[in-house]
């Protein structure tokens, strides 16, 4: 499998008239090597490929493990006596144009590369990860299953006086007990805080006065992520709150129906069109536009290709796994329509696009919950 990924990457960069590539992001290194012990916080490795060579560059802490686990790549052990520049010098004559991950390198790293290679050009590796294998999909499904269990668990913990941070802590501990870790710090937003799409979970406590409770979280299991959002109500919701919830749920379903209809008719599915369907529906009901994209791919990282947004140029294809997450966020506009405290609703699920259409991977109920 990993040999095939290297082969596909080589075909891709040669097609783009590049002589080689340097892979620096941890997720792409993991995807190409199968080695997942590198830290995202430290620069512990690179993958350096040419038309007839394939190196993984690292140091003595990882050399033996990589030799055993990554036989399809040649290990270059860097050290003070044998710095990475020695390898670059060895191949600089044959590599005139080098592909790099521009959005991942530091300025210092880029300057170093320019000393050895005449031209460097951005090369997007992550697109290779957008179509998942059956094995990858199964891993995401398992992460989703753990997330579903976490949602069922957390409903019993939401009581008057509990804080956002306490709820987030309960979610993290539960997911850890299930043999996974959180795929990102959970977003827990009570009341008016739910009107902020990416609210920073804080000390706000529940009072029980018909509050929005927005929960956005995921699990990471065997290196693959899940992501889901549910919005529930603590105390009896108002008619306006119910209307917002029903509109968001309907918007998500309209996006799903649009994709399934396109699959059935054999039409190309443009990600931007999917976003537009949900966005237009929400606005047709008199609510503000969605302030974020409708969805994103998921896998080794929480946010991957494809992007379901108005600016997206991507086409949805079989094997892609992505979220569909419309939202309505209402500050206190002061108008009769939006009278009362601010609040927001987001509903997010993960789907895989298959031959027959979408299959939902997250399985938590989406009915309007009142606790």
- Are 119 and 206 in the same domain? no
Residue that is last in its domain, among 107, 129, 151: 129
pLDDT above 80 for 340 = no
- Are 108 and 138 in the same domain? no
- The reply to whether 371 falls in a domain is no
- Are 98 and 189 in the same domain? no
- Are 34 and 57 in the same domain? yes
- Are 111 and 180 in the same domain? no
Which residues, including other chains, have CB under 8 Å from residue 151's CB and lie 6 or more apart?
215, 228, 230, 364
Residue that is last in its domain, among 66, 96, 129: 129
- Are 180 and 232 in the same domain? yes
Cα torsion angle, 338, 340, 341, 347, sign: negative
Lowest mean pLDDT among 101-110, 142-151, 243-252: 101-110
- Are 102 and 188 in the same domain? no
Residue 113 C-beta-side C-alpha neighbours within 13 Å: 25
Q: Alpha-carbon distance 21 to 167, whole Å?
A: 44
Mean pLDDT of 245-270: 97
- The reply to whether 365 falls in a domain is no
- Are 258 and 332 in the same domain? yes
- The reply to whether 113 falls in a domain is yes
Residue that is last in its domain, among 114, 129, 144: 129
pLDDT above 80 for 336 = no
- Are 139 and 152 in the same domain? yes
Q: Look at residue 150 and give its three-state secondary structure.
A: helix
Residue 29 sits in a domain whose CATH number is 3.40.350.10
- Are 159 and 93 in the same domain? no
- Are 141 and 124 in the same domain? no
pLDDT at 335: 45
Q: Alpha-carbon distance 33 to 31, whole Å?
A: 6
Range of the domain at 292: 134-360
Secondary structure in 3-state letters for 165-180: HHHHHHHHHHHHHCCC
Mean pLDDT of 281-288: 96
- Are 260 and 172 in the same domain? yes
DSSP-assigned letters across all residues of 233-249? EESPPPHHHHHHHHHHH
Peptide bond into 197 cis (omega under 30): no
pLDDT above 80 for 185 = yes
- The reply to whether 367 falls in a domain is no
Query: What is the C-alpha end-to-end distance of the chain, expressed in Å?
Result: 47
- The reply to whether 366 falls in a domain is no
What average pLDDT does the structure give for the chain? Answer: 94
- The reply to whether 368 falls in a domain is no
pLDDT at 163: 97
Taking only Cα atoms into account, the Rg of the chain, rounded to an integer number of angstroms, comes to 23
pLDDT at 341: 67
- The reply to whether 138 falls in a domain is yes
CB 182 within 8 A of CB 206: no
Q: Alpha-carbon distance 35 to 125, whole Å?
A: 17
Q: Alpha-carbon distance 158 to 205, whole Å?
A: 10
Q: Alpha-carbon distance 272 to 308, whole Å?
A: 6
Q: Alpha-carbon distance 100 to 275, whole Å?
A: 30
Residue 205 sits in a domain whose CATH number is 3.90.230.10
Angle between helix 164-177 and 134-155 (nearest 10): 130
Q: How many domains does the chain have?
A: 2
- The reply to whether 108 falls in a domain is yes
What DSSP element (H or E) covers 224? strand 224-225
**Per-residue pLDDT band at 284 (split at 50, 70, 90):** very high
């Amino acid at each position: 499998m990993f040999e095939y990924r290297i082969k596909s990457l080589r075909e891709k960069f040669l097609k783009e008239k590049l002589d080689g590539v340097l892979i620096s992001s941890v997720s792409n290194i993991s995807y190409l090597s199968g080695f997942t012990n590198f830290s995202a916080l430290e620069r512990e490795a690179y993958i350096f490929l040419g038309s007839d060579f394939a190196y993984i560059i690292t140091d003595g802490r990882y050399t033996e493990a990589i030799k055993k686990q990554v036989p399809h790549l040649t290990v270059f052990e860097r050290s003070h006596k044998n710095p990475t520049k020695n390898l670059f010098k060895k191949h600089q004559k044959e590599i005139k144009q080098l592909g790099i991950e521009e959005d991942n390198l530091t300025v210092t790293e880029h300057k170093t590369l320019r000393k050895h290679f005449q031209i460097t050009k951005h090369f997007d590796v992550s697109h290779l990860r957008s179509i998942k294998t059956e094995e990858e999909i199964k891993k995401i499904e398992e992460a989703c299953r753990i997330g579903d269990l976490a949602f069922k668990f957390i409903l019993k913990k939401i009581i008057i006086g509990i804080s956002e941070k306490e709820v987030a802590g309960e979610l993290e501990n539960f997911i850890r007990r299930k043999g996974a870790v959180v795929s990102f710090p959970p977003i827990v937003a009570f009341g008016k805080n739910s009107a902020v799409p990416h609210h920073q979970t804080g000390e706000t406590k529940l009072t029980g006065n018909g509050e929005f409770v927005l929960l956005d979280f995921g699990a990471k299991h065997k290196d693959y992520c899940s992501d889901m959002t549910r919005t529930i109500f603590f105390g009896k919701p108002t008619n306006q709150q119910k209307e917002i919830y029903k509109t968001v749920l309907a918007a998500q379903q309209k996006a799903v129906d649009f994709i399934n209809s396109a699959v059935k008719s054999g039409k190309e599915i443009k990600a931007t069109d999917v976003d537009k369907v949900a966005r237009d529906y929400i606005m047709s009901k008199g609510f503000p536009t969605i302030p974020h994209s409708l969805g994103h791919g998921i896998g080794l990282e929480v946010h991957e290709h494809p992007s379901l947004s108005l600016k997206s140029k991507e086409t949805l294809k079989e094997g892609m796994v992505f979220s569909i997450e419309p939202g309505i966020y209402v500050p206190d506009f002061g108008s009769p329509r939006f009278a009362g405290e601010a609040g927001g609703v987001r509903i997010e699920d993960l789907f895989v696009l298959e031959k027959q259409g979408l299959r939902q991977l997250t399985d938590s109920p989406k009915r309007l919950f009142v606790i």
